[in-house]
Amino acid sequence: MMRFSTQEIPVWLRLILLVLLSITPALAQGPDELIRGLCHKEGCDEFRLLAAERVAEGADGTLMRTQIQSFLASPAGRQSLGEAMGYAYCSQTRPAILAQRGGQTRAYMIAPFSTEPSWEKRKSQNFVALYFTICHGAEVGRQAVQDTQGIALRLRYSVPASAGRFVDLARA
């Protein structure tokens, strides 16, 4: 097996690799990275991103097809809730998590600068964690649960919506 030092790899190839790693951080996460979302009296919702694949490019974002494994963590242990396929629209202006069920597509439009009361924002914590994990990687997903506005500002999001909302779509 041949080994290369970083000096032997052409600069243009190093730049391409750096760009590829920076635009697909969610795919670079380890297989065992659990992200904790909403905690409630039964326990805490957790998930693991199993797969994320680009399926379409839009004028203001990228549609990603995803596979997620969900869990409920409680004092009794971690219980698997199964796997689900879905989508995320990674966009600085129209961020969304999408799900298809029974031939219908429904999107939850993320509002990172929401002016809702904190108890109302708390309800969308799982969507926020999932979205930022898919689009920006596990560490950013964890941080977004605690400081959604700070992460959105740092990543230059510009979303005018004052509250997250569900929208029915014809297709993903």
Q: Whats the size of the chain, residue-wise?
A: 172
Reading the block at residue 32, the tokens are: 């065992």
Average pLDDT, rounded, for the chain: 81
Distance from C-alpha of 24 to C-alpha of 37, rounded to nearest angstrom:
22
Closest CA to 142 of 11, 29, 16: 29
Q: Taking 50 as the threshold, does the pLDDT of residue 12 lie above it?
A: no
Question: In this structure, what DSSP letter does residue 26 have?
Answer: G
pLDDT tens string 147-167: 999 999 999 999 988 888 888
Residue 58 — φ and ψ, nearest 5°?
-110, 175
- Please give the share of the chain, as a percent, with pLDDT higher than 90: 51
Q: What is the pLDDT of residue 6?
A: 42
Distance from C-alpha of 132 to C-alpha of 70, rounded to nearest angstrom:
16
Q: What is the pLDDT of residue 11?
A: 45
Q: Read off the pTM.
A: 0.76
Q: What is the pLDDT of residue 86?
A: 93
Q: Where are the domains of the chain?
A: 11-169
Q: What is the pLDDT of residue 16?
A: 39
pLDDT tens string 55-87: 999 899 999 999 999 999 999 999 999 999 999
pLDDT tens string 39-58: 889 999 999 999 999 999 98
pLDDT tens string 118-143: 777 677 888 999 999 999 999 999 99
Q: What is the pLDDT of residue 130?
A: 93
